Amino acid sequence: MAHFTVTPLGDALGAEISGVDLSAPLAADVIDRIKQAWADHLVLRFRGRILTDPQLLAFTRHFGELDPPGPNPYGKPFLSEFPEINVISNIKKDGVPMGNLGDGEAVWHCDMTYIESPPRGALLHALQIPPEGGDTFWSNMYLAWDALPDAMKMQIDGKRAIHDATYNSAGMMRKGMQEVTDPRKAPGAHHPLVIRHPETQRPALFLGRRRNSYIVGMDLDASNALLDTLWAHATQPAFTFRQVWQEGDLIMWDNRCTLHRRDSFDPSASRLMHRTQIKGGKVAPYEPAKLTVAS
Ligand code: SIN
């Protein structure tokens, strides 16, 4: 039996795992328990040890196939030796950014939902953090769905939304994209607004990112009004967990049932995170009717 502790980090989501050395090979029962804790808590934190890049990659592989980072605004991997690792940083070397997202706010989003098969999850490892600011927040999309009034559940069930590919969460245009003037024509995958989580089978709101989103088939103003309501609901503090980073923290999150965002921080401070991603699959609609068992 794997011996480590799982301590919830709040009422909504998140738990800290202590007593596991991520730099060493891990036994199958330890991985199985971590997977169970991940399904139960959506966001897991491991504290207190800086991992090497190969250690971070090895740990990530326990949870699925590595998913290379999406295209960054500079058009090539930040770490040529480890192209599967994304760098999130505001640091510049000889005037050249070492990583993505800079020092500004990164708005609420899930990762790469502009593609048909978005990643199942991601891991973010803090190597250098600013004295203050740059906190990251996650919100629980199972709770957001559960707490919606029935009338709104019925209104959105079966509907799909466009997940725009144009901008990243820091507001930078992705390479090769063009300004979107009509969200109805935004490039990006169309996903159900409420999905069935492939492992837990629980329904979750699946919003992606607000900018240029559009609920397919609706009048544009009505779509915007409904999306604004859903986003305000989904990101309310009661559904969230706030991560105040320490160096060595490693956070892994489930990308199908959470949203995340990051606070800005002092541009003269340095923040350096290494990030990996796990391949996912096409998300499936909730379809509660399918729950009915034929007699
Ligand atoms: C991200 O959105 O993946 C980065 C979050 C952060 O910088 O804390």
Q: Predicted confidence band at 288 (pLDDT cuts at 50, 70, 90)?
A: confident
Question: Dihedral through CA 57, CA 58, CA 64, CA 65, nearest 10?
Answer: 50
Q: What's the whole-number mean pLDDT along residues 262-291?
A: 92
Ligand 1 geometric centre to CA of 261 (Å): 7
Looking at the DSSP assignment, which residues form a beta bridge with residue 265?
133
Ligand 1 atom index nearest CA of 122: 3
Contact 252, 34 (CB under 8 A): no
* pLDDT band at residue 92 using 50, 70 and 90 as cut-offs: very high
Q: Of all residues in the chain, what percent carry a pLDDT higher than 70?
A: 97
User: Which of 26-40, 59-73, 250-264, 274-288 comes out lowest in average pLDDT?
Assistant: 59-73
Mutate-to-test residue for ligand 1 from 89, 91, 112, 136, highest number of ligand atoms within 8 A of CB: 136
Q: Ligand 1 — pocket residues by CB below 6 A?
A: 88, 101, 106, 124, 136, 169, 260, 262, 273, 275
Please compute the mean of the pLDDT values over residues 70-87 and round it to a whole number.
Answer: 87
Ligand 1 atom closest to Cα of 106?
A: 2
Question: Cα(293) to centroid of ligand 1, in Å?
Answer: 42
Task: Tell me: pLDDT of 61 over 90.
Answer: yes
pLDDT of residue 294: 46
pLDDT of residue 290: 53
- How far apart are the CA of 5 and the centre of ligand 1, in A? 26
Give the CA radius of gyration of the chain. Answer: 19
- What is 5-285's CATH topology? Double-stranded beta-helix (3.60.130)
Which ligand 1 atom lies nearest to the CA of residue 245?
8
How far, in Å, is the centroid of ligand 1 from the Cα of 2? 30
Closest to 240 measured CA to CA, from 107, 156, 140: 140
- Ligand 1, atom 6, residue with closest C-alpha: 262
Pocket perturbation via mutation, ligand 1, pick of 45, 78, 90, 124 by most ligand atoms within 8 A of CB: 124
How many angstroms does the Cα of residue 262 sit away from the middle of ligand 1? 6
Interatomic CA distance for residues 68 and 65, integer angstroms: 10
Q: What is the mean pLDDT of the chain?
A: 94
Please tell me the distance between residue 198's alpha carbon and the centre of ligand 1 in angstroms.
24
The DSSP secondary structure of 25-39, one letter per residue, reads: ---HHHHHHHHHHHH
d(CA 42, CA 50) in angstroms, rounded, equals 22
Lowest mean pLDDT among 64-73, 184-193, 207-216, 249-258: 64-73
The structure's pTM equals: 0.94
Q: Give the pLDDT band of residue 292 (cuts 50, 70, 90).
A: very low
Residue 292 Cα to ligand 1 midpoint, Å, equals: 39
- SS3 labels along 39-93: HHHCEEEECCCCCCHHHHHHHHHCCCCECCCCCCCCCCCCCCCCCCCEEEECCEE
Cα–Cα distance between 265 and 171 in angstroms, integer? 16
CA of 136 to the centre of ligand 1 (A): 7
Identify the CA nearest to 170 among candidates 266, 88, 115: 88
**Bigger pLDDT: 50 vs 292:** 50
Look at residue 169 in the predicted model and tell me its pLDDT. 85
Residue appearing with tokens 């009505």? 222
- Residue 168: which pLDDT band, with cuts at 50, 70 and 90? confident
What's the rounded mean pLDDT across residues 167-189? Answer: 89
Residue 169 Cα: closest atom of ligand 1: 2
What pLDDT is recorded for position 176? Answer: 83
pLDDT score recorded for residue 293: 47
- Express as a percent the part of the chain with pLDDT over 90: 86
For the cut 90, the answer to whether the pLDDT of residue 295 exceeds it is no
In angstroms, the CA 257 to CA 42 distance is 7
- What's the pLDDT score for residue 190? 97
